Amino acid sequence: MTGSLAGRAVLVTGATGPGIASGICSALAAAGARLVVNGLTADEVGATVARHPGAVGVVGDVSRPEDVARMVDEAAAQVGQLAGLVNNAGIGLRTPFFDADEEQFDRVLGVDLRGVWLVSRAFARQCDPALPGAIVNVSSVHARSTIAGYGIYAGAKAAVEGFTRGCAVDLGPRGVRCNAIAPGYVPVDPALGERAHASDWIDRHTREEQVLPRLIEPVDCGWAVRFLLSDESRCITGQVLTVDAGLTARLYNGETTARTHADRSGARS
């Protein structure tokens, strides 16, 4: 799909991170997109722009309406009409919902949901009805199945998927599509390894929990985003593409089932 986004200006929020953000930017740049990268600081944005020749940067917090309005205006001034938007900016929270305070709740929902709405609204208002456009939101497998301590984050991502469908319905008559990707566990930078205990967990998760025993890399998410922004997906909207190596496709892995049978056999004997 090299060149599938040639000449199209795409705004990527939260584009400065080393994880999924890097994979998205690399895949879109390889497809010929004109990148507009967003981050919270000028230094972070500048470093990302430097990695992608031809890219431009806009600094701002997606949860702040005044920042979002300025970001879109600055993007338009530098690259003209935006053809694509990737709502990648997001923050996590790992604490039981009953231990979280109002500030934590508001911050997660402010970035992960309010930010998606604010930037999507600004993008939609600048779209030219004569030109097709596309939005891709970054959700998570936590939107449908989660683990202890992630209730607030899971709620935010479930809301993102609901918003994705509503966005698709509202914008369809304007020729604008809206989809989402739901990544599984993606290490920030596999090349760096991780701390020893984290590396062991990643290895077990990849081999035992995923259906495909293959590490999910940031670019895997980038390729999915690229597809959903391109004309190859021109009749796809309101959908969530899960990039999880099969993590959410099964109930239990084989070893869990084998242990269960062994325990039952032992009990009968």
Known catalytic membership, residue 199: no
Considering only CA atoms, which of 21, 46, 137 is closest in space to residue 84? Answer: 137
199: number of CA atoms within 13 Å, CB side? 8
The residue from 120, 139, 230, 233 that is catalytic is 139
Interatomic CA distance for residues 84 and 119, integer angstroms: 11
CA torsion angle for 58, 63, 64, 65 (degrees, to 10)? 90
Known catalytic membership, residue 153: yes
Q: Residues in the chain, how many?
A: 269
Concatenating the DSSP letter of every residue in 192-248 gives: G---HHHHHHHHHIIIIISSS-SPPPHHHHHHHHHHHHSGGGTT--S-EEEESTTGG
The residue from 150, 153, 230, 233 that is catalytic is 153
Known catalytic membership, residue 157: yes
What are the angstrom distances between the C-alpha of 40 and each of 37, 95, 136, 169?
Answer: 10, 24, 20, 31
Interatomic CA distance for residues 75 and 81, integer angstroms: 8
The residue from 22, 26, 120, 157 that is catalytic is 157
Phi and psi at 148, nearest 5°, equal -55, 135
Known catalytic membership, residue 150: no
Radius of gyration of the chain from its Cα atoms, rounded to whole angstroms: 20
Helix, strand, or coil here: 249? helix
The residue from 26, 63, 120, 140 that is catalytic is 140
Interatomic CA distance for residues 171 and 239, integer angstroms: 14
Q: Would you name the residues annotated as active-site residues?
A: 139-140, 153, 157
